[in-house]
């Protein structure tokens, strides 16, 4: 057991301030954060995780806000991770999702955390999976993860969430066609938001046509029409996610997902740590500079340079 009054002890007692502090330590990659993860990780693995992704302006924040309220009406505790884009210069973020979901802040059973993407690709922050584990260990029943909304390459959410909701809006036009090769394939539920706008029925037809072109899967993503600003269709969306959860549980996919997520996280962290080791090694930066000049001058190709750098560091 952690010492009485320590950060971990207060966390285990349900102290929200301790939760917020621990998430900060984890997000910043401090030794205290890593130690806490090691100690608390066995408590994780019980929460349901739902990812909400889609293009900018689709209404993801409003939908997430209403989704959380619907879950609370069912008696569930909720964690929300909202990833906002970072400045490429300062790595800071406006964290606007927290502003848009202010009405949730008065509910003690909802904990929302905004994360800056800090240059990570795929619509998530590099620390997202660790923060999910912390909220899970804290005892949250459901964790909602809202992605940056940068475009159609936001497929990382499929590796973080058990159920992925892809939010679409009428007026997408030809952009819908670009989805079938990427993000459409990771969607478990398709949400058509702003369904009161012209073109909503056409969008539903387009999505159905795209689904018919995808490889056969045991689960066919349902299409849910909603108007998040008016709380219309939110219950239908929650039910669709419940149905997908039951499918995962009955088919054995939950265990497969957990192993796939663990493998992906191990590989991602290993790559990050290996690169950090190469950069931090004494002399490593100088060797990289030498190889960089050789590639820029056309004396060496990038693949050979990368192999030489790794080999040199292994021998150092």
CA 85, CA 115: separation in Å to the nearest integer? 9
257 in a structural domain: no
Segment 156-182 shows an average pLDDT of: 74
Instruction: Specify the pLDDT at position 194.
Output: 94
Place 216 in a pLDDT band, splitting at 50, 70 and 90. confident
CB 229, CB 205: distance < 8 Å: no
59 in a structural domain: yes
CATH number of the domain encompassing residue 98: 3.40.50.300
Instruction: Specify the pLDDT at position 244.
Output: 97
- If asked whether residues 91 and 236 sit together in one domain, one would say yes
Place 121 in a pLDDT band, splitting at 50, 70 and 90. very low
179 in a structural domain: yes
Question: Among the listed ranges 218-227, 245-254, 272-281, which one has the minimum average pLDDT value?
Answer: 272-281
Q: CB-based burial of residue 187 (10 Å sphere; 0-12 exposed, 13-18 middle, 19+ buried)?
A: buried
Contacts of range 268-277, beta carbons closer than 8 Å, 24 or more positions apart: 268/126, 272/126, 277/313
Question: Among the listed ranges 4-8, 112-116, 122-126, 300-304, which one has the minimum average pLDDT value?
Answer: 122-126
Give 268 or 280, the one with higher predicted confidence.
Answer: 268
Structural domain for 141, as ranges: 44-251
CA 264, CA 34: separation in Å to the nearest integer? 18
- If asked whether residues 22 and 73 sit together in one domain, one would say no
DSSP state of 232: B
Instruction: Specify the pLDDT at position 54.
Output: 86
As given in the structure block, the two tokens for residue 135 are 């909220």
- If asked whether residues 25 and 116 sit together in one domain, one would say no
234 in a structural domain: yes
- If asked whether residues 165 and 101 sit together in one domain, one would say yes
DSSP string of 88-136?
TTT-----HHHHHTGGGTT-TTEEEEEEE-TT-STTS-TTHHHHHHHHH
60 in a structural domain: yes
Instruction: Specify the pLDDT at position 90.
Output: 42
Question: Among the listed ranges 33-37, 171-175, 250-254, which one has the minimum average pLDDT value?
Answer: 171-175
pTM of the model: 0.86
Note the pLDDT tens digit of each residue in 17-72: 999 999 999 988 899 999 999 999 999 999 999 999 988 888 999 999 999 999 99
Instruction: Reply yes or no on whether the pLDDT at 222 is more than 90.
Output: yes
Helix (H, G, I), strand (E, B) or coil at 153: coil
307 in a structural domain: yes
Q: At what angle do helices 31-40 and 16-27 cross, to 10 degrees?
A: 120
- If asked whether residues 50 and 30 sit together in one domain, one would say no
- If asked whether residues 97 and 239 sit together in one domain, one would say yes
Instruction: Specify the pLDDT at position 122.
Output: 47
Total count of domains within the chain: 3
Place 85 in a pLDDT band, splitting at 50, 70 and 90. low
Percentage helix, strand, coil for the chain under 3-state DSSP, each rounded to 5:
55, 15, 35
258 in a structural domain: no
Question: Among the listed ranges 155-159, 166-170, 194-198, 255-259, which one has the minimum average pLDDT value?
Answer: 155-159
CB 256, CB 264: distance < 8 Å: no
Of 99-103, 202-206, 247-251, highest mean pLDDT: 247-251
DSSP string of 242-259?
HHHHHHHHHHTHHHHHHH
- If asked whether residues 5 and 143 sit together in one domain, one would say no
Instruction: Reply yes or no on whether the pLDDT at 239 is more than 60.
Output: yes
Question: Among the listed ranges 6-20, 54-68, 117-131, 200-214, which one has the minimum average pLDDT value?
Answer: 117-131
pLDDT above 70: percentage of residues in the chain? 82
CA 48, CA 245: separation in Å to the nearest integer? 8
- If asked whether residues 18 and 141 sit together in one domain, one would say no
- If asked whether residues 67 and 165 sit together in one domain, one would say yes
- If asked whether residues 305 and 189 sit together in one domain, one would say no
256 in a structural domain: no
Q: Of 148, 155, 129, nearest to 261 (Cα)?
A: 129
- If asked whether residues 14 and 31 sit together in one domain, one would say yes
- If asked whether residues 33 and 48 sit together in one domain, one would say no
Place 221 in a pLDDT band, splitting at 50, 70 and 90. very high
């Amino acid at each position: 057991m952690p010492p009485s009054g320590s950060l971990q002890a207060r966390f285990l007692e349900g102290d929200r301030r301790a939760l917020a502090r621990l998430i900060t330590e984890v997000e910043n990659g401090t030794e205290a954060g890593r130690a806490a993860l090691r100690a608390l990780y066995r408590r994780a693995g019980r929460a349901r995780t739902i990812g909400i992704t889609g293009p900018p302006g689709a209404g993801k924040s409003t939908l997430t806000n209403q989704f959380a309220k619907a879950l609370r009406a069912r008696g569930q505790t909720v964690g929300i991770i909202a990833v906002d884009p970072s400045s490429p210069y300062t790595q800071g973020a406006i964290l606007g999702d927290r502003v848009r979901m202010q009405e949730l802040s008065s509910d003690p059973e909802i904990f929302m955390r905004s994360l800056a993407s800090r240059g990570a690709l795929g619509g998530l922050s590099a620390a997202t999976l660790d923060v999910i584990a912390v909220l899970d260990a804290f005892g949250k029943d459901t964790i909602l993860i809202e992605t940056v909304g940068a475009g159609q390459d936001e497929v990382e959410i499929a590796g973080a969430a058990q159920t992925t909701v892809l939010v679409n809006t009428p007026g997408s036009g030809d952009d819908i066609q670009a989805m079938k090769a990427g993000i459409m394939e990771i969607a478990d539920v398709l949400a058509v938001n702003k369904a009161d706008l012209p073109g909503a029925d056409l969008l539903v037809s387009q999505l159905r046509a795209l689904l018919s072109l995808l490889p056969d899967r045991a689960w066919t993503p349902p299409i849910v029409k909603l108007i998040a600003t008016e709380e219309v269709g939110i219950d239908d969306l929650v039910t669709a996610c419940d149905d997908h959860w039951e499918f995962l549980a009955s088919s054995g996919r939950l265990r497969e997902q957990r192993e796939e997520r663990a493998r992906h996280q191990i590989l991602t962290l290993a790559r990050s740590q290996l690169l950090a080791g190469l950069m931090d090694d004494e002399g490593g930066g100088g060797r990289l500079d030498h190889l960089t000049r050789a590639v820029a001058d056309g004396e060496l190709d990038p693949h050979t340079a990368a192999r030489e750098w790794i080999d040199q560091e292994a021998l150092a």
